[in-house]
Structure 1
Amino acid sequence: MTTTSSRLAVIDALRGFAIVSIMLLHNIEHFDFYFSPAGLPAWLKAIDQVIWDSLFFLFGGKSYAIFALLFGMTFYIQHHNRELRGEDFRPRFAWRLVLLLAFGLFNSMFYHGDILSIYAVLGLALIPVARLSSCWVWAIAVFLLLQPYAWLEVLQALPDPNAKLPDPASWVYFGRANDYFAHGSAFQVWTGNLTNGKIGVIRWSWENGRIFQIPALFMIGMLAGRHGVFVEGNQAFWRRVLLLAVLAFIPFYALKTWPELWKVGDALQRPLLVIITSWSNVAFMAVLVSSFCLLFYSQRWLAVFSPLGRMSLTSYVVQSIIGTSIYYGFGLGMYQYTGASFALAIGVVLALLQRQFSVWWLARHSQGPLETVWHRLTWLGSHAKN
């Protein structure tokens, strides 16, 4: 079964769920400004640690992966709908990615961890595979998920596995960022994020295997669209995915959590940890997606996330603008006073307010404000926009 509809309810809800989880993570991280307030009582520090560990266990490295999966799914829907009309969507998609890059660079001014600009560049990988057979797409996706560069580093480390490695290159950039996050003006933050911060995030994404993982998830999302797995009635499929994902996640998580048990040197451990962490995150992402789909078909209240999902671009950018204004020094400077508990409370309030805004806006418009701009510019010069 293939998906010919332009919108699936579960996709909107799942995307909204990912937006909320990203909002909560970004808040406890102070939007990449890692800082522990001084003078907190021991009991509050203990609660903060539980919240931090729990949210990163649930969503760290998984929420953005859900977004990547749905990005590929959305590409399939758009490509397939145009194909039914005898049109090739790929040139228009390339232009759409250019527009997404512009949105991403704007968002990067406020939050250097922006994922939109990275998706915009890596999304180009979908263009050459769009018309390949599913077997070939699967083969390419699996190859990317295997983290080929990290395996090359493993081979390079074998002659001297105990060699001492320098700190990852991204750390230097993030260390510089902390200074202007705390003390810089808004302009200094914006320019720092677009230069120093952006380089640091790209380096970090390379160091942690995201550059390979993201296009692989795009392709898997496209294949999910081809096979109609998000259409209601596929509960048996999602139960199988859930079982396999849980069975895969348990050993990967154990290996990731206790790398000292591997008893290998640092030069060998670092690339192996990148590989295992990547696989662990993908497995748990599959747990979250399959669980959400199974619950959505039986518990329609999960549609509460749908308004945020329908306005995911607007929601993502707005949370960066508001969040950094709350936590960074040029704004309220709340990084100095909020541990994970209070930051989580702020994140919940912001998510609720953002959802209410989405409901209000969508009652008056068919799309979110940034979604409307993206849609209109995507189809600029075309007479067929749907």
Structure 2
Amino acid sequence: MSNIHHPDRNDRYAHIDALRGIAVFGILLVNIWSFIWGFNSLRYGVLPATASLFDVLSVAFVAFFAEQKFYPIFAFLFGASFVLITRSAKQKLGRWSDAEQLYRRRMKWLLACGIVHGVLIWFGDILTVYAIAGFWVLSGLANARLRKVRKHLYVWLGVFFALLLLNFFLGAQLFGADDLATQSKNEVYGVEAARMIYTYGGYFSIAVQRIRDYISVTTQSVFILPHIAVLFLLGVMSVRRGWLTQPWRHTTLWRRVRLIGFGIGIPFNLAWAALILSEAIDPLHPSPYSYIAYAWLPVGGVCLAAGYVACLMLAGPAIQRWAADWLAPVGRMALTNYLMQSLLCSVLIQGFGFGLGATLPPAGWLSIAFGVMLLQLLLSRWWLSTHTQGPLEALSRRYINKAKVAG
């Protein structure tokens, strides 16, 4: 008999909410650096000559443990939520067409939140891309046969791997390139200029830079759309097949996922962390291998992310109960917590606020991220002890219910 927790009806999706809470926290570990360095190819900026061992380990830890591991989990759960939400709406409204219309209304709300977030708070918003992808990738799949979902998944997988190969060949061309040193100097100049604006500038100068970066991020997100589409559709499959909603019935699958995920993900991401650390220490002499590794990071990152997911799916009753008590509230308020993270980090780190990005070392920035996590862990549990939803989740429901009444 497996020791995996078999939940009762009242907390049957607590493990999904807990996984979403983990993803929200993991995303913050990566995002925290961009509040200082902006949108640049040097993701972790430049480590100063006075960097301590803790600063070095902070970069290595985030590159290994978090970079491109938690946004895939979030995207995977986005697809899973599509099925759960439309099923629930179908039961209440009676028709699949009404359920899909309701979901499109949710995507409009998410798109509006994303634009406001990206323009006014933080340029690295992912909600805009998720909303657009939700309209495009998931449209018409609420009541689709599993065969149709698989067909869509295979098509997007083909596009995804075609882009991976293209990026790999482009990275390979950098070996022996004469202009690599010049390109590196320009990147260092750009990242330093962004740091000066974000950590020392006033709100207006930061806002101008933020809008420029938001436009760049959103425009370039077209290249990660196939990756997001694959993750969305895997999330849809995971609910339709019961892998995510009834993990205790699929322990063999999740053990294989854990084995393969860690078997590929750990060595790949150790190499990735070493390359990133070398780049942050000496950005003027980057290794061409880092460009090739970055091309395959969506695969290496997803493998480790899959290992994380499998660990929670296979966790015993004690861990599942702790996750349900502490992490699930964070996941139930995912939108509120995601936007709150950006607001807190911009005020604490950037020049118009407390300016801690200019006074703290890299390890200090990571400490801010952990401090925000602790705050949200406590706030989420407290809020949901007296409310059924987070503040922005409640506004979302009010907006959607208003549309239902109007309809």
Please classify the TM superposition score into its range, dividing by the shorter chain length. 0.7 to 0.9
Alpha carbons of structure 1 residues 221 and 35: separation in structure 2 relative to 1, 3 Å: same
Query: For residue 380 of structure 2, what is the amino acid of its counterpart?
Result: S
Q: Does 1:192 align with 2:213?
A: no
Q: Does 1:105 align with 2:105?
A: no
Measured after TM superposition, the shift of residue 250 of structure 1 is 5.1
Q: Aligned residue for 1:263?
A: none
**SS class of match (2:96):** coil
**SS class of match (1:332):** coil
Alpha carbons of structure 1 residues 283 and 57: separation in structure 2 relative to 1, 3 Å: same
Measured after TM superposition, the shift of residue 14 of structure 1 is 0.7
**SS class of match (1:381):** helix
Query: For residue 101 of structure 1, what is the amino acid of its counterpart?
Result: L
CA contact (8 A) 2:257 2:306 kept: yes
Farther off after superposition, 70-79 or 355-364: 355-364
Q: Quote the Cα distance in structure 2 between the aligned partners of 1:60 and 1:159.
A: 25
**SS class of match (2:139):** helix
Q: Please, which of 241, 247, 268 is the counterpart of residue 227 of structure 1?
A: 241
Q: Does 1:78 align with 2:85?
A: yes
**SS class of match (2:163):** helix
Q: Quote the Cα distance in structure 1 between the aligned partners of 2:331 and 2:274.
A: 36
Alpha carbons of structure 1 residues 336 and 159: separation in structure 2 relative to 1, 3 Å: closer
Query: For residue 131 of structure 2, what is the amino acid of its counterpart?
Result: A
| 1:1-386 pair list within 5 angstroms | 8-27=13-32, 30=35, 32-33=37-38, 40=50, 45-84=52-91, 85-88=94-97, 89-108=99-118, 109-124=120-135, 125-130=137-142, 131-132=144-145, 133=147, 134-146=149-161, 148-152=162-166, 167=183, 177-194=194-211, 196-202=212-218, 205=221, 209-230=223-244, 231-233=246-248, 234-249=250-265, 252-253=268-269, 272-295=292-315, 297-299=317-319, 300-303=321-324, 304-383=326-405
TM-score, structure 1 length as denominator?
Answer: 0.82
Q: Quote the Cα distance in structure 1 between the aligned partners of 2:121 and 2:68.
A: 21
Q: Quote the Cα distance in structure 2 between the aligned partners of 1:269 and 1:203.
A: 26
Query: For residue 322 of structure 2, what is the amino acid of its counterpart?
Result: W
Query: For residue 214 of structure 1, what is the amino acid of its counterpart?
Result: I
Alpha carbons of structure 1 residues 225 and 61: separation in structure 2 relative to 1, 3 Å: same
- RMSD, aligned α-carbons: 3.5
Query: For residue 20 of structure 1, what is the amino acid of its counterpart?
Result: F
CA contact (8 A) 2:105 2:400 kept: yes
Query: For residue 8 of structure 1, what is the amino acid of its counterpart?
Result: Y
CA contact (8 A) 1:141 1:220 kept: no
Q: Could you list the per-position Cα deviations for residues 49-83 of structure 1 after superposition, in whole angstroms to 9, with x for gaps in the alignment?
A: 11221122111111111110111110111122334
Q: Could you list the per-position Cα deviations for residues 260-282 of structure 1 after superposition, in whole angstroms to 9, with x for gaps in the alignment?
A: xxxxxx9x978754442111011
Q: Quote the Cα distance in structure 1 between the aligned partners of 2:220 and 2:60.
A: 21
TM-score, structure 2 length as denominator?
Answer: 0.78
Q: Quote the Cα distance in structure 2 between the aligned partners of 1:296 and 1:203.
A: 43
Q: Quote the Cα distance in structure 2 between the aligned partners of 1:274 and 1:151.
A: 12
Measured after TM superposition, the shift of residue 24 of structure 1 is 3.3
Measured after TM superposition, the shift of residue 104 of structure 1 is 1.0
Q: Quote the Cα distance in structure 2 between the aligned partners of 1:352 and 1:270.
A: 33
Q: Could you list the per-position Cα deviations for residues 181-220 of structure 1 after superposition, in whole angstroms to 9, with x for gaps in the alignment?
A: 13332233234322x11123235545xx523211211111
CA contact (8 A) 1:12 1:310 kept: yes
Measured after TM superposition, the shift of residue 47 of structure 1 is 1.7
Alpha carbons of structure 1 residues 157 and 17: separation in structure 2 relative to 1, 3 Å: closer
Farther off after superposition, 248-257 or 80-89: 248-257
State the aligned residue count: 368
Q: Aligned residue for 2:281?
A: none
CA contact (8 A) 1:150 1:272 kept: no
Q: Quote the Cα distance in structure 2 between the aligned partners of 1:32 and 1:380.
A: 41
Q: Quote the Cα distance in structure 1 between the aligned partners of 2:45 and 2:174.
A: 36
